[in-house]
Structure 1
Amino acid sequence: MLITSSASKFFKRKHSISLNGNLIDLKDPVVMGIINVSPDSFYDGGKYASEDDIVKRAGEMIDEGVTIIDVGAVSTKPGASHISTKEELSRLLPAVKSIRKHFPDVPISIDTYRSWVALRIMDETGECIVNDISGGNFDEHMFDTVAKLGIPYILMHIQGTPQTMQDNPTYEDIIKDISNYFSEKVRKLTKAGVKDVIIDPGFGFGKTLEQNYDLLNRLDSFKVFQLPLLVGMSRKSMIHKLLEIDPEKSLPGTITGNTMALLGGADILRVHDVREAVESVRMFKMLKEVAI
């Protein structure tokens, strides 16, 4: 079993990140809950359009055991429409303000690839994690901005853009290619002065169905970076297309995928369904305890 492999014993990962002067403990895996405030997200678009809806869902997630809440205002599904910075901020800022107002102690991550949006959000709401699907490719100022703000950064791998990423994505070897990508980006982030980096291999972002499962099967290869690993497969097409079902029926497949990711070394599960992911983590923790 992967959790008892020699590789997992040898590599010593960073087990915490710092936000607002507090440490987020990652010694055991944690759950990041998704709140999309865009009207066209692939699964829950338009579901959280009002402050009441956002606050209610955030409260539910906290009750279910969430550690981090990730808020996004731009759909990044394949072929998603481009929106302006102004429109993104008009959606994102009120949502983050509402969550911060009602739940000041919960760590918040903002799903944005724009440094200016990150600056405005931090200026008005305080420190957040930046979750950048582009790995700095869409905004050349992002790395320096994150370093200046002194906040954690989620470095995701993507091939192309949301508009083009599923146009015949190709790899010589998916693990080798993504590892080379991470090596280059982590070097640049370190040089810029970013202290807390989380890596995300980007399931569904420029990968075919088969490539996604090859990636999942060899997920433990990324332990070599000794950095926290985030996995986001929640209700994605790699699940519902394989099972020939709608995203609304893909929760069991998501639970299975999350469990595989935990066995492969995931430290953070980014999900729509918090309670089920928290239960998966609890079972995984018990498995680790009895394996010692």
Structure 2
Amino acid sequence: MASSLGRMGLVYYKTDYTNRTVVKEFILIAFSELHHLQVFLSVFILLSYIICVTGNIIIIILIKIDPLLYTPMYLFISAFAVLEIIFVTVTLPNLLDNLISGNNSMSVLGCFTQMYVFNGLGITECYLLAVMAFDRDLAINNPLHYSSIMKKKLCFTLAVVPWIVGFTISFLTTLFTARLNFCGPNQINHFFCDVGPLQTLACSDLFVSKVAVFLSAVFSIVLSFIIIIAFYIHIIITISKIKSVDGKKKAFSTCSSHLTVASLFFGTTIIVYATPIDTQFDKFLALIYTVLTPLLNPFIYTLRNKDVKSAVRRSRVLIARILT
């Protein structure tokens, strides 16, 4: 009995008061049911990870070496690029290991650590996107005082606060989830340790944990989304008052990239985390905001951004001069 449970990732405890099994590791099912797509998924995720990390590193380097990009907007974009690199690194290497080698087990400590970091980064991204919306709103609605308001100290504070808020909220959510009793089964129907699938495996009452997760979703995803919507309503009202068509296009072009990224990210996270219904499709939706959205973000910020494209051309000229 004890040996078979051990192979299943469970430990059998017998005391004077109770006999029970306790989970010592979790098994990530991931996409094991899609046998015929394992190779395709492995190649797609590997290429997505490489492109995402490389693309964001290029953005960070461009912003670092080009003096014309030393502005608050690009400070936030570089902070967002760093966040994206860490965000995909938390989940995708483990998923690749699962798909390629079949290593689908994760210790309890490793599972909750991954959940804490992933959720912390996700909430950080929500509020960093809100900060970027505030920056665009201030630039469009108060351009004369923008430089005097968005000084280096304020920019640094606005870039750091989302990290503090994100990992504080994630700590509380992780704490309430970790206090649940997990006595089996230990198979998580997901490709990473996420709070919803973990809760379904708990043997104890979920009320407090469910309330904590719901409040976390409200104060992170929903609240930041409402803040972004409010800023963009203000931006749209201001742009609508501009008489020239070229003026309207120029004003909106400064925030189109951010609006696209925010729409992609919140479109899926609200469905997965801010709705009370858990579905079997959550892990497929999670692929969008853990793989597809980070993959597209570098292209959105380069292909749709004139300043970044100009910086790329200037860097090419500089490199050519150095080589010749």
| TM-score, scaled to structure 2 | 0.23
In our comparison, the structure showing a higher alpha carbon Rg is 2
Could you tell me the TM-score, scaled by structure 1's length? 0.25
Normalized per residue, the structure richer in strand is 1
Structure with bigger helix share is 2
